[in-house]
Chains A and B, each alone.
Chain A
Amino acid sequence: MTEPPVNPDQALGPRHWARVDGWGMAVRSFGYLFHPRTADEIRNVYDLARGAGKTIVLRGAGRSYGDAAINNEGIVLDLCGMDRVISWEPDTGIIELEPGVTIQKLWQTIIADGYWPPVVSGTMHTTMGGCAAMNVHGKNNFKVGPFGDHIIEFDLLLPSGEIRTCDRAGNARLFHAAVSGFGMLGCFIRLKMKMKKVCSGLLRIEAFHTRNLQEMVDEFEDRVADADYLVGWIDTVAGGSGLGRGIVHQANYLREGEDPRPADSLTISAQELPAHLFGIMPKSLIYLLMRPFINNPGVRLINASKYWSSRIALRGACYCQSHGAFAFLLDYVPNWKLAYGAGGLIQYQSFLPRGRAVAAFEAILRAAHSAGLPPYLGVFKKHRPDPFLLTHALDGYSLAMDFRVTASNRQRLWSLAGELDQIVLDNGGRFYFAKDATLQLWSIDKFLPPANIEAFLALKHECDPENILQSDLSKRLFGKRFSAEVTQQSL
């Protein structure tokens, strides 16, 4: 595919021109797109970038909401083509994967052997490389930690062409920095992970409503010991006495013997999401039905009906659902983001320490309401600290909110985000690069420990001294701090 470059100008010709957007479509870029399939092809692009004076962003499935996987004017290395399962051992649950393997391909590979990935994102279309680089969390973060906690070993291809094999014993520093290092230190080209053994393809779900955020947190705290997964939906448009009301879903693995016919549910088809709505309407068109409701009154109506019907109908309802159906709710409607219109959406997800979470999230919701910019979706999760250098997780809670972006609200939205940042920072909170589109140059110093930032910059200097790996996000948040001189000074 990618031939060794002869002349950089030609090698960056029209075959590689592409517009590349953040998943939320609110941030966009023009880039030179490459689709390597082997480590050598990646090396060729590293060399090409060096020769042409370009920077490179590594890109998986591009599911980061903001600008983490785009690089305006630079090279975009799309790794989706490196999607081989290198080996899978059902006896031990150990799997070796190339970086472009998606969560979808992963669960499809292991389900029939009675396994499920220990950590998955809310969409199954993310890749191993992207999940490792962002150290993604699932709805079980409070229990099993992030994606990185289940990686045994990986190979990282540095811009010099050198491959570093890292695990917790060898290259431990790099191990804990590349995971969470948002693609700035090198490219994952092989990941070895441990999968979770399950006795059934089904989960037992319990759903109930909570009248406010305090009640939601109380429920989470009461249930953490027993729950395998916990996730809250919050009616983010409701104000007044309804502020922070929502619905909680708890899911638990079935124990040995609880599912009389595990073989039936441990199949790809039993985990697959339905292709049609009501059996007839192709799912790919549903976003068109959603479109008229993606505005303040529309979302108010939908959220209120969802909340009240759950209050009336659920009352602690208990039922079984497949892993896929529970985990990938957001994949039910393909392209739902298009319902947000041409301006797209941003997600604002902040992480707050346990004791501060309720008050801070209430303040955040109030601030959004009084700015006239209510978020349209709110998802609440519980987290725990982890050992990765730039981790977003802490002992507390996160609230992820989707905001519609339009030409007319964009500026107000960004300044609202600045206001919310202050609330989060005042309360000792954190942010997540996979979602972010609005933080500013000084932000990282206010939420990441200085020692972690310095350690990261030192590794950046060591692994990528020419500063080839960059993204629009890294330029926005780190400015010139990756360049050698500045790093030396700050060390």
Chain B
Amino acid sequence: MIRDKCAIVVGASSGIGEAAAVQLARRGYRVALVARREHELRKIAERINSRSPAGEERALVFAHDVTHFNEVPELFDRIAQSLGGLTLVVYAAGVMPRVEPEEYDFSKDLKMVEVNLLGMIVWLNEAAQLFTRLQAGTIVGIGSIAGDRGRKGQPVYNTSKGAQAIYLETLRNRLAKHNVRVVTIKPGYIDTLMTRGMGNLLWMISAEEAGRLVANAAETARATVYVPARWRIVAWLLVHIPSFIFRRLDA
């Protein structure tokens, strides 16, 4: 029999992914931690395993760079096999390099598309196929409020986040009949490495709090969840502002 409550978290070495993995382990999941920084992953795994019921190895470590797309199918299988089952995949890997107002650096753009979007696609395509065969499972993608509107500061980051939302919606519509839930998480500002040094940001919450909300959503949500929830109202307003006004408001 394959096990219940097994999760993969891609992008688990810091920030929201790390916090979500810790939360999931606390809720009884076996979690595979995936990211590049193996050392960080090991520390997190140790922390999780030291808190797990005696003898239970709740966290497993898999060092991987999501831009090595070819490795994913084989790695995905190896992880599912090691976990002994799979019920949840969280894709939290993401990058947002600093981009100047007049900067058009394609190498940065490429990185964002590769990590945020293509990495998500290659991982979640695998999840979609397995969950279709199992007629069960949950997919969680971490998008962003930044994907709701084309703001000036981060053309390609916003694009990658907007594209993620469309991809996730498509998966949701494809997989609904197979009893697979696909959840889009749209965080507001979260206190992580990504936002470090950006000053005081509106409604900023801790990564731990975000991780808890992501884990909640993974267990019950059906579509898009704003983290924290009040961002839904802001997003609604933002989406309805005509472009010629939005252009002026967008600092």
Query: Which one, A13, A21, A33, A73, contacts B77 given CB within 8 A?
Result: A13
A173 and B3 CA atoms in complex are apart in Å by 44
The reply to whether the CB of B133 lies closer than 8 angstroms to some CB of chain A is yes
A13 and B130 CA atoms in complex are apart in Å by 11
The reply to whether the CB of B202 lies closer than 8 angstroms to some CB of chain A is no
A73 and B1 CA atoms in complex are apart in Å by 6
Is B133's CB under 8 angstroms from A33's CB?
Answer: yes
Given A30-B1, A73-B1, is A19 in contact with B81 using a C-beta cutoff of 8 Å? no
The reply to whether the CB of B217 lies closer than 8 angstroms to some CB of chain A is no
Query: Which one, B1, B80, B135, B136, contacts A14 given CB within 8 A?
Result: B80
The reply to whether the CB of B86 lies closer than 8 angstroms to some CB of chain A is yes
Residue of B nearest to A72 (CB): B1
The reply to whether the CB of B134 lies closer than 8 angstroms to some CB of chain A is yes
The reply to whether the CB of B2 lies closer than 8 angstroms to some CB of chain A is yes
The reply to whether the CB of A17 lies closer than 8 angstroms to some CB of chain B is yes
The reply to whether the CB of A301 lies closer than 8 angstroms to some CB of chain B is no
Is B134's CB under 8 angstroms from A13's CB?
Answer: no
Query: Which one, B80, B86, B136, contacts A19 given CB within 8 A?
Result: B136
Residues of A within 8 A of B136 (CB): 19
In B115-151, which residues have CB < 8 Å from any A CB?
130, 133-136
Residues of A within 8 A of B1 (CB): 30, 73
The reply to whether the CB of A408 lies closer than 8 angstroms to some CB of chain B is no
Beta-carbon contacts of B72-98 to A below 8 Å, as 1s and 0s?
Answer: 000011001100001000000000000
Residue of B nearest to A12 (CB): B81
A143 and B110 CA atoms in complex are apart in Å by 71
Residues of B within 8 A of A30 (CB): 1-2, 134
Residue of A nearest to B85 (CB): A17
Is B81's CB under 8 angstroms from A18's CB?
Answer: no
Residues of B within 8 A of A13 (CB): 77, 80-81
In A329-371, which residues have CB < 8 Å from any B CB?
none
Is A10's CB under 8 angstroms from B81's CB?
Answer: yes
A73 and B2 CA atoms in complex are apart in Å by 9
Beta-carbon contacts of B1-31 to A below 8 Å, as 1s and 0s?
Answer: 1100000000000000000000000000000
Main secondary structure of the interface of B (DSSP, over half): helix
Is B133's CB under 8 angstroms from A19's CB?
Answer: yes
Residues of A within 8 A of B77 (CB): 13-15
New contact pairs (12) apart from A14-B81, A14-B86, A14-B130, CB-CB < 8 Å: A13-B77, A13-B81, A14-B77, A15-B77, A17-B130, A17-B134, A18-B133, A19-B134, A19-B136, A30-B2, A30-B134, A73-B1
Interface size grouping (class) on chain B: 10 to 19
User: 9 tightest A-B contacts by CB?
Assistant: A14-B80, A18-B133, A19-B135, A14-B77, A13-B81, A19-B134, A13-B77, A14-B130, A14-B81
A33 and B130 CA atoms in complex are apart in Å by 12
Looking at A9, A14, A17, the one whose CB has the most chain B CB atoms below 10 A away is A14
A17 and B135 CA atoms in complex are apart in Å by 10
A71 and B100 CA atoms in complex are apart in Å by 60
Residues of B within 8 A of A18 (CB): 133-134
Residues of B within 8 A of A14 (CB): 76-77, 80-81, 86, 130
Residues of A within 8 A of B80 (CB): 13-14, 17
Query: Which one, A9, A17, A73, contacts B133 given CB within 8 A?
Result: A17
In the assembled complex, the CB of A172 is this many whole angstroms from the nearest CB of chain B, namely 41
In the assembled complex, the CB of B120 is this many whole angstroms from the nearest CB of chain A, namely 19
Residue of B nearest to A18 (CB): B133
In B58-80, which residues have CB < 8 Å from any A CB?
76-77, 80
Residue of A nearest to B73 (CB): A15
Residues of A within 8 A of B76 (CB): 14
Residues of A within 8 A of B81 (CB): 9-10, 13-14
Looking at A9, A21, A30, the one whose CB has the most chain B CB atoms below 10 A away is A30
In the assembled complex, the CB of B80 is this many whole angstroms from the nearest CB of chain A, namely 4
A395 and B12 CA atoms in complex are apart in Å by 68
Beta-carbon contacts of A7-30 to B below 8 Å, as 1s and 0s?
Answer: 001100111011101000000001
A215 and B2 CA atoms in complex are apart in Å by 54
Residues of B within 8 A of A21 (CB): 135
Residue of B nearest to A338 (CB): B177
A33 and B132 CA atoms in complex are apart in Å by 13
In the assembled complex, the CB of B196 is this many whole angstroms from the nearest CB of chain A, namely 37
Residues of B within 8 A of A19 (CB): 133-136
In A43-75, which residues have CB < 8 Å from any B CB?
73
In the assembled complex, the CB of B10 is this many whole angstroms from the nearest CB of chain A, namely 16
A10 and B77 CA atoms in complex are apart in Å by 9
In A28-42, which residues have CB < 8 Å from any B CB?
30, 33
Can you list 13 A-B pairs with a CB-CB distance of less than 8 A? A13-B81, A14-B77, A14-B80, A14-B86, A14-B130, A15-B77, A17-B80, A17-B130, A17-B133, A18-B134, A19-B133, A21-B135, A30-B2
Residue of B nearest to A28 (CB): B135
In the assembled complex, the CB of A2 is this many whole angstroms from the nearest CB of chain B, namely 16
In B29-47, which residues have CB < 8 Å from any A CB?
none
A30 and B1 CA atoms in complex are apart in Å by 7
In the assembled complex, the CB of A16 is this many whole angstroms from the nearest CB of chain B, namely 8
In the assembled complex, the CB of A70 is this many whole angstroms from the nearest CB of chain B, namely 13
A428 and B133 CA atoms in complex are apart in Å by 42
Residue of B nearest to A342 (CB): B179
Residue of A nearest to B132 (CB): A18
Residues of B within 8 A of A15 (CB): 77
A10 and B80 CA atoms in complex are apart in Å by 11
In the assembled complex, the CB of A62 is this many whole angstroms from the nearest CB of chain B, namely 13
Looking at A18, A19, A21, the one whose CB has the most chain B CB atoms below 10 A away is A19
A17 and B130 CA atoms in complex are apart in Å by 7
In the assembled complex, the CB of B82 is this many whole angstroms from the nearest CB of chain A, namely 10
